Chain A
Amino acid sequence: MPILAERPPLPSDDKRWRIVNGTMRKHGYSRNALIETLHTVQSSFGFLDEKAIRFVAQSLRVPLSQAYGVVTFYHFFSLKPPGRHTCTICLGTACYIRGSDKLVAETEKLLHVKAGQTTPDGEVSFTTARCVGACGRAPVVLLDGELSGQVETSELKAHLERWTTQ
C-alpha cells in the first residue's frame, strides 16, 4: 500500500484559501475536482500562481505536471495577475463580421500592448474572448466584466482613455 502524503496546510492565513479548501472538501478531495478547484482559485485570487497550483495538486494528490497541464490547456485560466481594469473584446464570428478587428487594432494602439498582455503600470489587462454568446449585440466588449453591445470605436477609445489617464 502506497504511503499517502498528508494534505498540505493552507499556504497562508489569507481567508480565500479556506474558500478554495471548501471546494475541495465539497468534492471529497477527489482528483476529479481539479478543474472545479482551479476555478475557485481563479475566481478568488484572479489568477493562478505556482503556490496555488502546488497547493491544489498536493491537496488533491494529482501530479504537479497534470495540474500544470490542465491550467495551461484551458484558456480560462490565467497564470498572470490581471490589471486593475480588464478589457475583453469578443472575437466571435458575429463580432468579427461586425468589425471587432478594428476594435482590437484601436485598443492595441492606445494601450501599447497586445491581446493577452497587461499595461506595464498594471492598470489595464487586454484580452480577447472566443465568443461570449451575446452575438445579437455584436460587436461586444466586456469592460471590467460588464458587457457592452454594439460598441463603436470612439466609444471604446473614450472609455479606455478614462482608465489610462486616471
Chain B
Amino acid sequence: MNAEELEQIAESAKQESAQFDFQVNVCMGTGCLSQHSDKVKAALEKEAESSGKKCHVRRTGCMGLCAAGPMVLLSPSETRYGHVHEADAKDVIAALGQEPVTRLDPQLGTYFEGQKHVVLENSGHVDPEKIDEYIARSGYEALVKALTDMSPASVIEQISKSGLRGRGGGGYPTGLKWDTVAKVKGAQKYVICNGDEGDPGAFMDRSVLESDPQRVIEGMAIAAYAIGATKGYIYVRAEYPLAVQRLTVAIQQARRRGFLGNAICETTFSFDIDIRLGAGAFVCGEETALIASIEGKRGTPRPRPPYPAVSGLWGDPTLINNVETFANVAPIIRNGGEWFASMGTARSKGTKVFALTGKIRRTGLVEVPMGMTLRQIIFDIGGGVPDGRKFKAVQTGGPSGGCLPEEHLDLSISYDALISAGSMMGSGGMIVMDDTSCMVSVARFFMEFCMTESCGKCVPCRAGTVQMYELLSKICRGEATRRDLDHLTELCEVVGATSLCGLGQTAPNPVLSTLRYFKHEYLAHIDEKRCPAGVCAFSTHAAEVLA
C-alpha cells in the first residue's frame, strides 16, 4: 500500500457513493439502536427501493444528539431528522430533493453551532464496518504519510508540537509520553489503548469505538511506528458489546487492507492489534491495573515508578493512551501539529468530547474547542435545564471529579482551570443537576461507587472509603453532628494523600468540592435536620440527635 493505491481506494469508494443522488444516514449507535433504529433503516431501505430514487441508506455511528434518537442525517442537504420511526420512512424518502419533513425537525436549536468536530468528524458519516468509507474520508492518509515520509522522531515531534494531552483525564502531554517510551531500549514494546471507560456518566469512548473504530486503529499504528512497538492491545469494557463487535470487524478489515500485519505499506514496520475484554472493574482504568488485567490477573495497581513506559506489559516498555487520544493522532499527522495547536487555550490544545447528560434538555455527545465556557456548553448547546427547574451544579470528571456551582458557569474549559476550581477534566462526563438533587446524596453516591470499586490493595482507600461513606450516610439520615463533619474532612485529606493509585487519591474529590461550594447543604442536614432539596429521608433518630 502506498499513497497512490490509497487514493485509488478512496476514489473508487467515492465513485460508488456518487452513483446515488442522496445519502440517507441512519444512526446505529447504542442510544438510537435502543429505539429500534435498525428497523427504521430497514423501512427506509424498503421505501428507497420502491420509490425508484437513487438513494443509499447507510448504517452509521453516533450522530451526537441522543435525546432526539433515532436520528437520520441526509446528504448532500445536511438535513437532520430526529425521532424518526418506521412509519416516517415513506415521508423521509418522498421528501428527498424537496422541502424537508417539518414534523421530524429534531428542534436542534444551536446544538451543532459552536461545536468543532475533529474526533467525531466521521461519526454519523461513515459505516463503521466499511473500511473503504473511512479511506474515502482521508482515512489512513496519516499512517501512509508517517510510514513513507516521516521518521519516528518527526512523528513524535508533530505530536509534541500539537500540544495534545491525554484525554483519559490525567492530561499528561502525549508527545512527552511517546518520547519517553521511544527512548527506552527494549526488543519488544507494546501499545495499549485504554477503552475501559468506567466513569459512570461518560460514553465518549464507546461512541468513538462504535462509530469510527478505524480512527483508533490508525492512531495506534502511528503510535507503534513512533515508539517502535510491534504489538497492540485494545482494552474494552465487556459492557460495550457493540463496540467490541465493530472493533473486531474493523481490525479484520484493516488486516485485509494491509494496515495491520507484517510489512505495512511495504516498509519493515509490522504491527498487529488484539482486543482484550474488561470484566467490570473501575480500577482497571488505572494503567498499572489495566496491565495486570491484560496479563490475566486481578486488576490491582502497583506503585510507580517504574512507569509502564519503562516496565509495563510483561515487564516491557509500554505506551498507554486513551481512545480519544488515539483518535486525535491521525488528524494531527495529516494536518500538522501547528494546526491542532491553533485550537484551544494556551495549555489545553484542540477539542474535547463531552457526554452531556443529566437534567439537561439536549442530552448527547458534543465536541467543542477547549476554552469554551461551561455556560456555552450547557445552555447554548445543551439547551439548559428542562421543566422550568433551576440549574444547581454540573459534575465533571466522574468519581474523581467535582461539582461546580452556578458561579463557575463562566469558567472556560481547560485541564488547569477545572482543577483549580476543585474538579477535573476526567474523561469528559458532564452531568447537569437541577435543584431537585441533594448534593450530600450526590457525594454519597460517588463515595459508594469508590467504596465498591476499591480493589482493596491499600488500606487508606479500602478502609477510608467505607468510613467516608458511613459518615455521609449518617449526614443523609440526619444523625450526624459537626464533629462527624470534621472527621469527614480529615479523612478526605488522609485518603487523598496516602492512597496508592488515582482511585483512592481522588475519591475524596466529590466530597471536597461539594463541601467547598455547597457547605450550607451539609450544615442544613446537620444543624437543622433538613434536606434543602427534599431528597433525604431522615430517621426518627434524627430528632433525638438534635435534642
B299 proximity list for chain A (CB < 8 A): 73-74
Instruction: Please determine whether B31 and A136 come into contact, CB atoms closer than 8 angstroms.
Output: yes
Instruction: Please determine whether A138 and B363 come into contact, CB atoms closer than 8 angstroms.
Output: yes
Within A1-57, the residues touching B (CB, 8 Å) are 30-36, 38-39
Decide: A133 near B30, CB < 8 A? Known: A32-B296, A33-B296, A93-B201: yes
Q: Tell me if A91 counts as interface (CB < 8 A to partner B).
A: yes
Decide: A70 near B358, CB < 8 A? Known: A92-B200, A137-B31: no
Instruction: Please determine whether A129 and B239 come into contact, CB atoms closer than 8 angstroms.
Output: yes
Within B481-505, the residues touching A (CB, 8 Å) are none
- Interchain CA distance A149-B357 in the complex, whole Å: 13
Q: Tell me if A79 counts as interface (CB < 8 A to partner B).
A: no
Q: Which of A94-102, A106-114, A118-126, A154-162 is found at the contact surface with chain B?
A: A94-102
Q: Tell me if A164 counts as interface (CB < 8 A to partner B).
A: no
Return the contact of B281 from the options A33, A36, A74, A146 (Cβ within 8 A): A74
Instruction: Please determine whether B357 and A94 come into contact, CB atoms closer than 8 angstroms.
Output: yes
Within B281-310, the residues touching A (CB, 8 Å) are 281-282, 293-299
- Interchain CA distance A149-B34 in the complex, whole Å: 7
Q: Which of A35, A96, A134, A136 has the most CB of B within 10 A?
A: A136
Within B178-222, the residues touching A (CB, 8 Å) are 197-203, 206
Decide: A131 near B66, CB < 8 A? Known: A39-B238, A94-B358, A96-B445: no
Instruction: Please determine whether B279 and A131 come into contact, CB atoms closer than 8 angstroms.
Output: no
When each residue 245-275 of chain B gets 1 if its CB lies under 8 Å from chain A and 0 otherwise, what string results? 0000000000000000000000000000000
Instruction: Please determine whether B277 and A36 come into contact, CB atoms closer than 8 angstroms.
Output: yes
Beta-carbon nearest neighbor of B359 in chain A: A97
A36 proximity list for chain B (CB < 8 A): 276-277, 296
Instruction: Please determine whether B69 and A137 come into contact, CB atoms closer than 8 angstroms.
Output: yes
Q: What is the CB-to-nearest-CB distance from A86 to chain B, in angstroms, rounded to a whole number?
A: 14
Interface residue tally for chain A (C-beta within 8 Å): 41
B298 proximity list for chain A (CB < 8 A): 69-70, 73-74
Within A71-85, the residues touching B (CB, 8 Å) are 73-77
A92 proximity list for chain B (CB < 8 A): 200-201
Q: Which of B198, B279, B359, B449 has the most CB of A within 10 A?
A: B279
Q: What is the CB-to-nearest-CB distance from A29 to chain B, in angstroms, rounded to a whole number?
A: 12
Instruction: Please determine whether A76 and B203 come into contact, CB atoms closer than 8 angstroms.
Output: no
B293 proximity list for chain A (CB < 8 A): 35
Q: Tell me if A64 counts as interface (CB < 8 A to partner B).
A: no
Decide: A135 near B280, CB < 8 A? Known: A32-B295, A97-B437, A130-B449: no
Q: Tell me if B429 counts as interface (CB < 8 A to partner A).
A: yes
Q: What is the CB-to-nearest-CB distance from A148 to chain B, in angstroms, rounded to a whole number?
A: 6
- Interchain CA distance A138-B280 in the complex, whole Å: 20
Q: Which of B277, B282, B455 has the most CB of A within 10 A?
A: B277
Decide: A134 near B433, CB < 8 A? Known: A74-B279, A93-B358: no
Within A133-147, the residues touching B (CB, 8 Å) are 133-138, 140, 146-147
Instruction: Please determine whether B359 and A136 come into contact, CB atoms closer than 8 angstroms.
Output: no
Within B405-463, the residues touching A (CB, 8 Å) are 429, 431-433, 437, 442, 445-446, 449, 453, 455
Instruction: Please determine whether A94 and B279 come into contact, CB atoms closer than 8 angstroms.
Output: no
Beta-carbon nearest neighbor of A33 in chain B: B296
Q: Tell me if B320 counts as interface (CB < 8 A to partner A).
A: no
Instruction: Please determine whether B200 and A131 come into contact, CB atoms closer than 8 angstroms.
Output: yes
Q: Which of B200, B237, B365 has the most CB of A within 10 A?
A: B200
Q: Tell me if B464 counts as interface (CB < 8 A to partner A).
A: no
- Interchain CA distance A60-B282 in the complex, whole Å: 26
Instruction: Please determine whether A32 and B363 come into contact, CB atoms closer than 8 angstroms.
Output: no
B281 proximity list for chain A (CB < 8 A): 73-75
B333 proximity list for chain A (CB < 8 A): none
Q: Tell me if B364 counts as interface (CB < 8 A to partner A).
A: yes
- Interchain CA distance A38-B297 in the complex, whole Å: 12
Beta-carbon nearest neighbor of A34 in chain B: B296
Return the contact of B429 from the options A34, A39, A93 (Cβ within 8 A): A93
Q: Taking A134-B30, A137-B35 as given, write out 14 further A-B residue pairs in contact, using a Cβ cutoff of 8 Å, ordered by the A residue number.
A: A35-B296, A62-B296, A75-B280, A76-B239, A93-B358, A94-B358, A96-B445, A97-B359, A98-B358, A134-B34, A136-B357, A137-B363, A138-B363, A149-B34
Closest 5 CB pairs of A and B: A136-B66, A74-B279, A93-B201, A92-B200, A75-B280
A–B complex contacts, Cβ < 8 Å, 23 sampled: A32-B294, A32-B296, A35-B293, A38-B279, A39-B277, A75-B279, A75-B280, A92-B200, A96-B445, A130-B453, A133-B239, A135-B66, A135-B357, A135-B431, A136-B356, A136-B363, A136-B365, A137-B69, A138-B357, A138-B363, A140-B34, A147-B34, A148-B34
